[in-house]
Chains A and B, each alone.
Chain A
Amino acid sequence: MKYARIYFEDVEVGAEMPSLVKGPIQQIQLTRYAGASGDFNPIHQDDGFAKAAGMGGIFAHGMLSMGFVAQSVTDWTGVGTVRKIGVRFAALVRPGDIVTCRGKAVAKRPAKDSQEENLVDLEVWAENQKGEKVVTGKATVALNSRA
């Protein structure tokens, strides 16, 4: 299923996305993400800096968690299907945390003509090991029709 694409007809409103479990988050992953993304804010790397900033210690880039959420979507619907994804960073993710990404289909918008795509709107979120939501958001994917 992992690299499959699903068809528009395969998704029903209310259908749950398979969950994606990431972590435990390691400090080295934050360093790696900093290098890959170009976000070198020391608040994600330097515990002393993060404490002095009043954050109680380092925490993960919100964008790393958003990357996990986007992966949970593409693992289900396929690479290249995401037309829109938007999230709010609701709580901090700390080293050691386990992040579970979930979602469900909330609406289907069939193409009205050959110029349009079949769209599915998803509600997406990620939660930590305590069940607290760390990311909440929405995504829209374009899916091919079987026809």
Chain B
Amino acid sequence: MPIQINKDIVGKEYPPFVVHVERGKIKEFARAIGDLSPLYLDDAVGRASEWGDIVAPPTFPIVFREDGGTMLQDLGVDISRILHGEQEFEHRKPIRPGETYLCRSKVVDIYEKTGRSGPMAFVVRETTATDGDNEVVAVMRSVTVVRL
């Protein structure tokens, strides 16, 4: 019997949360991927660059999360049922160490499909990060797959 999920959360906006980008976190993230570009890792190289500091790799904003598993609780699903289906990042400004960003996250769609491995739900969430000038720095769209 497939499980039921709570589709009423389409349109739900989560409370905004603040992230502070630490220099060490950028380096830890780049090293975990094995991307050893000095523009991520070497402060002196960053200082001499067009940005005047190191910057974050393109997939870094995935760390912008305020967890506690709130969305999973809302959906009524256990973490063992979820898979990451799709992910997109739109970059409008570089992400820099020492900056603070305000993130807003919203569930934009939920749809169901039956694949080879059975019925699945696709939960689409969009998160927008803005800087102190209220300019959008990054937009992320993620699709979480729930094995029903």
Contact = CB atoms under 8 A, between A and B. Distances in A.
Contacts of A33: 32-33
25 contacts: A3-B38, A36-B28, A36-B33, A37-B32, A43-B80, A49-B80, A52-B80, A54-B147, A61-B84, A63-B59, A63-B87, A64-B33, A71-B34, A71-B57, A74-B57, A74-B58, A79-B37, A79-B57, A80-B94, A82-B58, A82-B89, A84-B90, A85-B59, A87-B86, A87-B87
Nearest to A86: B88
Interface string A47-66: 00100111000000111101
Contacts of B40: 79
Determine the main DSSP class of B at the interface with A.
mixed
A68 B50 CA distance: 24
Contacts of A79: 37, 39-40, 55, 57
A38 B65 contact: yes
B55 A38 contact: no
Nearest to A33: B32
Interface of A: 3, 22, 29, 32-33, 35-39, 41-43, 49, 52-54, 61-64, 66-68, 70-71, 73-75, 79-80, 82-89
B57 A70 contact: yes
Contacts of B147: 54
Contact of A70 (B39, B58, B67, B141): B58
Name, among B25, B59, B90, B94, the residue most crowded by chain A CB atoms within 10 Å (CB to CB): B59
Contacts of B87: 62-63, 66, 86-87, 89
Contacts of A35: 28, 32
Given A36-B28, A63-B59, A89 B65 contact: no
Q: How large is the interface on B (under 10, 10 to 19, 20 to 34, 35 or more residues)?
A: 35 or more
B85 A89 contact: yes
Given A37-B32, A74-B58, 8 more contacts: A37-B29, A39-B62, A62-B83, A70-B35, A83-B91, A84-B90, A87-B87, A88-B86
Nearest to B34: A22
Contacts of B39: 3, 79-80
A85 B31 contact: no
Nearest to A73: B58
